[in-house]
Amino acid sequence: MASIICVTGGAGFIGSHVADALVADGHRVLIIDDLSSGRKENVPAQAELHVLDIRSEDAALLLQEEGVEILVHHAAQMDVRRSVADPRFDADVNIGGLLNLLEAGRKGSLRQVVFASTGGAIYGEQDVHPADEDHPQRPVSPYGVSKLASERYLYYYHHEYGLDATCLRYANVYGPRQNPHGEAGVVAIFLDRLLSGRQPTIHGDGLQTRDYVYVGDVVAANRAAVGLEGYRTFNVGTGVETDVNELYEAIRKALGSPVDAVHGPGMPGEQRRSCISAAKIARELGVEIATPLAEGIQETADWFRRRGDS
């Protein structure tokens, strides 16, 4: 059944791909994005773009006046390092912005929130690899804390007001449209530097691992989440650890580049290992996180190359 859906951050990397899919599914899609990192050209032609801050009164009024039924919330302060440098700003955007929209939504027609959470930062240093949804949540950055707090607020709104909420805990998402400037995303950064003739830097020994999930698989998770009842939490990852050295070799191979990376100092406070299990979303929603890393990297490299040629 078609719904009125608002995608916050819908001009950004992940949000715009999700908006594309929701438009294709026949929903009326409104986008709220302040364009601080998003781009107008990412927005599907059939969607309605509103250039607003999620913390603003205008954004709240839009949800009420347009009768938004489902909020797909991707707008965020997503830079972990900035969250450490300015935790109050991080909380203002990530918690304050969400609460602004939830308060408006509960007074209007809102019945569900699909929330872009984090599997990379919410668990902290993991006891087991991959981590499932029951792993203790011990975030070690203000960004991770704000995402966990947002999940808790969504549970409160579900308990108190009957608002359905589905929290999708993403691993490290990569793919076409990722911004190599100011957004988290080592794949985009490496591709941008190689294509512009600069030598990429790997921080530390490069043996730190992450779970890299292709944006197309993240879109599939969002589509499956739309319309779910109750309060639900799902990891969205591959369950595979890839270290930065291996990742760089895959990127270099996709571009056919002979350039070696250089190693620089490690990043203070960086997690050593991160990897999450998506067995629950496969079992309960039938979503298979299926894109192999080499295939996803090739798709992303081809997009970055075309962008450079345009």
- Would you name the residues annotated as active-site residues? 143
Q: Name residues whose C-beta falls within 8 Å of residue 206's C-beta, 6 or more positions apart in sequence.
A: 243, 244, 245, 248, 261, 263
Decide: 33 and 49 in contact? Cβ < 8 Å.
Answer: yes
3-class SS string, 257-292: CCCCCEEECCCCCCCCCCCECCHHHHHHHCCCCCCC
DSSP labels for 116-181?
EEETTTSS-S-SSSSB-TTS-----SHHHHHHHHHHHHHHHHHHHH--EEEEEEE-EEE-TT--SS
- The distance from CA 224 to its chain's CA centroid, rounded to whole angstroms, is 16
